Structures are given as structure tokens and as C-alpha cells.
Structure 1
Amino acid sequence: MTREILVAGETLVDFIPERPGPLADVASFSRRAGGAPANVAVGLARLDRTPWFCTALATDPFGRHLGDVLDREGIPDRFVTRVDDCQTALAFVSHGTDADREFTFYRSDTADRHLDTCVVSDEVLESVEVVVVGGVTLTVEPARSATFDLVERARERDCRVFFDPNVRPELWETDPAPTIERMLSVTGVLKTTREDLDGAGLAADPATLLSAGPDTILLTEGSAGARLITDASAPWGAGEWHHAGYDVDDVVDTTGAGDAFAAGAIAGLVDGDDPDELLAFANAVAAASTTRRGAMTALPNRQTVAEISDE
């Protein structure tokens, strides 16, 4: 079976607090499957664009739980590897009163650090249109080298690399700028925020980013919507488009909204949407994801997205 999309990266467990406030003041949490690439993979499956997913899971109880979740979501396990003698990465989420969030990670020698992309053959990459990676696997070795091996082989086979830096400064063991600049040199589509760029020490100027490698930038701006900025080598030619997003009255949790946006944008790419259609759809996916708690659990299907965009 061939698939148009391959997502690669971490799968971990998010602990979502029972109420807003500082982490030290929260008494109980709900366990949720998470990790930005895992969220994107599941988001695509719910949008009827099920991808291949390359990830590493521990054989501990949390890892078995994550494997069960991916299986229930219909994610193929062909490129899911199991890693013994390590644990699952954990992320504790703290929410402000405006539903925004911060993360505290427990990630010492965890399975995500041992991502194995060698399981994805060159023959498989020949049949893939878009390869999706994030920034967390770039923070440590050997996952960093494995991620670069995959995207460099993908570029050689004319795959379009979609990169979300998802910068978490506390996870980086070295200065992130050189590594992210190297990734930009093989990136086709960059999905980012100004906070990500600041965290990586990179200029937020679109012209500078486009000159670094990507032909397309998707810049998300929270409640202000998102922009799509391209140069002449992009499928749509050079230009800039903006969508203001959708007003959602009952925002519950913004965790994973960026991953939901990415899933919508990737679906739009493989569907051949024009820039206005792509931005509208991705923003609607992101908006719909904020109406429920959690990242992966809140990812919408196409019917829910249509209800948001039709309002």
C-alpha cells in the first residue's frame, strides 16, 4: 500500500491539568497521548488522509498505551519501532486562565530520543509526496541524525519536506540555531510561529527565511489567524495570503492547536488546494481543536471542521 504522507517524530504522554493555574498548584491530571508529530499523524487520519508514521515507543506501560491509541486511530504500525530499557517521555501541561499552555518535560533517555528512520526504505520514499518532521527530535542524538538522514534521503527523491520547529528551549542541549538552519536548507514548507523563531534565535523576516531554503512559509498568529508566504519556486508562485481565523466562543484548551493547523495544511497540500482554501481549512481545523481538552483527543474530523467554517 502506498501513502502520500510520511510523518516522523515523537510520541509521548501529555498530562492535562484539571484546572488552570501554576503546575505546583494542580492536584490531578488526565493522561492523554501526545507529541506533535503523533498529533499531526492522527489529525491527518481523522481528516481521511491517513499517513505512514515513523516513531519509537518504549515497552513500558505508557508505551503500550500509546501503541494502543495509535492502533485505534488507524495509524499503520509498519514504521513504529519498540525500544527496550527506556521509558516514555512525559509532558505536564499548565494552563493559564486564557487556555494558553506551558510544558514541563520528563525526558531522560526516553524512547523518542532513539527514533529509527532506517526502517523507512528509499523505495517507500519514492512513493511519498510529503515528509513531515518537527523540532523535538532535533534536540538530541541519536534522534537528530536519524531525522536528518530521513529528510535528506526524502529530498533526493523529490519529497516535499514539511517542517515545524516547535521550539522548546528547555529541551535543547546545544544552541538550536545551527541545527534548525541546517533543517531549513532541506525544507520545502516551514510551518512556524514568531515565538518559535525567537526561541531558535532566527529572524522572523519572511524574505530571510525563504532565502534559507523553504519556498513556502505558514506563519500562525494565534487568534489573528495565519499567513502563507511564498517565493517564485512555490507551486503557487510568489505571493502572500492571510486568513483571519475563526471566532470560537467556547475555547477550552489550545494544546495541540498548532498541530491541528499543520494537519489541515498538509491535507490541503496533498489535495492541491489553492492558498486561500488551504489557509481557511487549516484555520478551521485548528479552531475546532480548541473546543475540547487535550491535543490528540481534540483533533476534529471533516464534519466538525465544516461546522466551524460554515458558521
Structure 2
Amino acid sequence: MSYAGPDFDPPQPRRPRRGPLTVALAALVPGALLGWVVYQTVGGGDGASAAPAPRGSAASPAPSTRSASPADDGKQHSGATPASGSLQGKVVVVDPGHNPGNFQHTSEINQKVDIGTNWKECDTTGTSTNDGYTEARFTLDVAHRLRTLLEAQGATVKLTRDGDSPAWGPCVDERARIGNAAHADAAISIHADGSAEGNRGFHVILPGSVHAGAADTRPIVDPSHDLGTRIAGTFLRDTGEPPSNYLGEGTGLVTRTDLGGLNLSTVPKVFIECGNMRDSKDAALLTSGAWRQKAAQGISEGIVSFLRES
């Protein structure tokens, strides 16, 4: 997401195979930072190799290595029939950030909605790479891939938007309500950042404690932190993308209280900024279909780990 947008305020400054690496990554202490240090130690920092799966993670399909382009929207991976599996009976809501139609509906997305702590605009346009590959396209692509992986584990997956429906939005408060109404066992909002060149890496946004107006995140703070920490570890391992070098102090984790999608959620929920679309190195990854499959795999394995323990 672009931090220039109204719902995204500028950031404040400042287990199949067992072994030592498996234990270190699975522990995630303190958070994703330890996973990054271990990852660098084994020479995985360039994303060329992946560490063994952490204890308790699902045996999942290998990431796609076929040639792909931004136009590869992942639809060939979506729409799978839910299978019997370890997540049978679990519900996951996947929220692909923004909407391609937001650019044509600026008056609608500028409507104010109540996010508990204050009022903010319904949604933003999101960001894009310098070559014009939009965040909205990226997030839907990853959401389709993620849905397929989770459905293969037996989960029921609901998307807050899909394809051209709706034409704009939904508003951030409605995105939260979709997860709440589904009684989701876990929810995730997928984004990519729009920061400056040289700022790169992923970060997972956790809900802070909010009790104001329509918002009360207190019951979901702890489970959301668990969910986000697991996703940070598996995303790092599967994609090779480093934790953000400009937010989170190297942990890959950021806590915020200004996001309506988190403030209004009554189910465990996190955001993930998969990388910075305005950085040339990150943009090369985000526009690769093969890498987006790895991103979906990393997110999926974190969610699976969380749901198996919950």
C-alpha cells in the first residue's frame, strides 16, 4: 500500500525436517529478526535457496518455477474445490488490498468511514511499480494463489473482492466486516508498499490495542501477533525477501493503531506488505509470477501453522 493514502498514515520514525535451523526459524525469537540472521548465516539472503520447513508447517506444493509476467494473474491457481485436510472447518478471509477501479471512483473512495479512533477515507488507489504494475493487480494475484493453497489444506477461503467485483473498494470498514461476518479463524490483508528507492523488504503489520468508538482490538491482539509472527518467518524462508530495512527495526513486524481494517476486526488479522514497489530490486520480484507463488506459499504456511495450533 502507499503510505500517501488516507487509510495508511506515514510510518512513525523511529515441522517435517528437524535440525538446528528448523528450530531457530520455528521459534522466531525475537520475531522474524532471528529468522533473518539464521537465513543469512546459511547463505540464503539472495533468495536462491530455501531452508527446511519449520516444525508443524504443512507439506505444501512446491512454488511454481515457470516463466511468468505481471499479466500472469494467478487465476490458473484459483477456484480449487475445498479438499479434506488438516484445515477442514477452518475459515480464512483474504483481503486483496485496493481495487483497480479506485482510480475511476475517486469521489466514492474519498467518502469518510468510522475506523473507531477517527474517520478516514473509504479506500485509496494504492501504489504501483515505476513501470505501471499496480498494487491492486499484485494483491489479487497473490490472493488467488493463496486461496488455492489454503483450499488444498481443506480451509474455506473467502475474498473481500475478486476480479472486477466490486467496481471500487470495498471500503476499509466493510473489508473488516466481511471477515467478522464469516467468523474467520484468520484474516490477512495483502499489500505492497510505495516507499522510496533503496527502501526494501517486507513487513507484517499487527493490530495494536485499541478501545475507542466502534473499535475494540483487545481480544485479537495476542492471536494476531502469533499469526503475524508465524507469517513473517515462513514468508522470509520461502521468498528470500529480507525484513524491511526502513520499518520494524529488522524484525519484519510493525504494530499500528491507525488502520481501519485492523481496528474494526473482531477476528485475528494482520496486514502484509510484501515488498516496496518503488524499489527496483523489490519491483523485479513483485512483477514475477514465480516469486508471487513463493509469496503465497510463505503466507499460506504461516496461516496453516497458526490454525493448526489454534
Taking structure 2 as the reference length, the TM-score comes to: 0.32
- Specify which structure has the higher proportion of strand: 1
